[in-house]
Amino acid sequence: MAQTKGIGAHFGGHLRENGMLVALVAIVAFFTVLLQFQPQPVNFLQPLNITNIFLQNGHVIILALGMLLVIVSGHIDLSVGSVAAFTGACAAWMTVSLGLPFWLVIPLTLVVGGVIGAIQGYWVAYWRIPSFIVTLAGMMVFRGATMWMLGNQNIGPFPKGFQAMSNGFIPDLTGIGRPHGLTLILIAAAILLQVWLGLRARARDAEFGIEPEPMGVFAARTLIVAAATGFVGWQLASFRGLPNVLVVLVVLTVLYAFFTENTVTGRRIYALGGNEKAAKLSGINTDRLVFLCFVNMGVLAALAGMIVTARLNSATPKAGTGFELDAIASVFIGGASMTGGSGRIIGVVVGALIMGVMNMGMSMMGVGVDYQFMIKGLVLLIAVIFDVYNKSK
């Protein structure tokens, strides 16, 4: 019979996971209160701002999902910003110049991203060239290729179908109008699913003799997450409903969380990052796993590139600048280890949301871009120091 551990022991063992969630809530509360004392008070949690957080940071979350697998496997990818810009330019060329329909352009662009990831992954996995060098070269190559393909000019606009990837919203099939009926139904279903999955996980832990978290902690966290989900859902329903980007993000998060936690390949990637020699001796094809991580990263970079291009309604030579830094920062802030082998999908999403909330909050307060870079850099440094401290303990 598994014994329930105390609240203090639980928080000590899950300090990073709990700390990131608490940090996100605290940052949102901080900007919500502080913006009320501005010369012109602003409601930070108004529906438009919540919608914009997802629209403006969806690409960061997508890149961070792929970056987590790369970092967990013990590598890094510095080229994702340039790859996103190049694939966005490819999508623009196929759509605007060649006149191909968007439903054909989207899979073709994903294939281009996968090929780029395969090329880089090949040199890292099978030739043992450090990923830092390979992707640094890729960052410069594909930045130049983007400028060449676009001729240092913007290409656009795009048809409505392509723009809907980023700027569209799910239709209200209920016919209620406002609030958005289908959004309310989906949010209610999501809350019930969260509660059911949490109870199911506790039951499974008890079945295998794993110490469950204290019921008070479980109930409090479930209540907070459900309340936050309900509030965000109501605000979105009061505006235009669920953005298409948010639907894509939820689907990807669920798929990658399932892949990393419930599949053999997902567990092997963590084993590879934890100890590559031991993983290889146990029969795991580590080279193939590294190769697949980079292919996956290339596909997600292409998806992020198309979403940004659709949101801007044009492909620009400067697109994707700094994307790799935001993605890497989101992964480390979300709890991944620098040395590989650990990190969770949910933590990465929380880390990306922290970055997005900080960006929007500081912009609304009128904080200069120079100070924003310094603050985000310090946040990243603190997250890494926290990881090193945790390991030393």
The answer to whether 343 and 72 have CB atoms below 8 angstroms apart is yes
**Given pLDDT bands bounded at 50, 70 and 90, which one contains residue 1?**
very low
* Mean of the per-residue pLDDT values of the chain: 87
Rounded percentage of the chain residues whose pLDDT exceeds 70: 94
Q: Outline where the chain has alpha helix (H).
A: 7-13, 15-34, 47-72, 80-92, 102-126, 131-150, 160-167, 181-207, 215-238, 244-262, 264-274, 276-281, 286-312, 323-333, 345-364, 369-392
Residue 270: other Cβ atoms inside 10 A: 18
Greater model confidence, 121 or 158: 121
Task: Give tens-digit pLDDT for 40-71.
Answer: 888 888 888 888 889 888 999 999 999 999 99
Annotated domain spans of the chain:
26-31+44-162+246-392, 169-242
**Given pLDDT bands bounded at 50, 70 and 90, which one contains residue 333?**
confident
198 vs 12: CA distance, rounded Å? 20
340 vs 272: CA distance, rounded Å? 8
201 vs 387: CA distance, rounded Å? 26
| pLDDT reading at 378 higher than 70 | yes
Per-residue model confidence (pLDDT) at position 5: 52
Comparing CA positions, the residue from 356, 325, 324, 327 lying closest to residue 343 is 327
| pLDDT reading at 36 higher than 90 | no
The answer to whether 87 and 306 have CB atoms below 8 angstroms apart is yes
Return the residue matching tokens 């294939």: 111
3-state secondary structure of 320: coil
CA angle 279, 283, 284 (to 5 degrees): 55
**Given pLDDT bands bounded at 50, 70 and 90, which one contains residue 385?**
confident
Per-residue model confidence (pLDDT) at position 14: 56
305 vs 125: CA distance, rounded Å? 25
Per-residue model confidence (pLDDT) at position 3: 46
Comparing CA positions, the residue from 39, 54, 26, 19 lying closest to residue 360 is 54
Least confident of 5-14, 72-81, 263-272: 5-14
Task: Give tens-digit pLDDT for 246-268.
Answer: 999 999 999 999 999 889 999 99
Q: What is the 3-state secondary structure (H, E, C) of 196-227?
A: HHHHHHHHHHHHCCCCCCCHHHHHHHHHHHHH
The answer to whether 308 and 318 have CB atoms below 8 angstroms apart is no
pTM of the model: 0.91
Per-residue model confidence (pLDDT) at position 157: 87
DSSP letters for 18-56: HHHHHHHHHHHHHHHHHGGGSSS---TTSHHHHHHHHHH
Q: What is the 3-state secondary structure (H, E, C) of 377-392?
A: HHHHHHHHHHHHHHHH
The answer to whether 272 and 284 have CB atoms below 8 angstroms apart is yes
Task: Give tens-digit pLDDT for 177-218.
Answer: 778 888 889 899 999 988 888 888 888 877 777 777 777 777
Pick the CATH number of 26-31+44-162+246-392 from 1.10.10, 1.10.3470, 3.40.120, 3.40.50: 1.10.3470
Tokens linked to 53: 């957080």
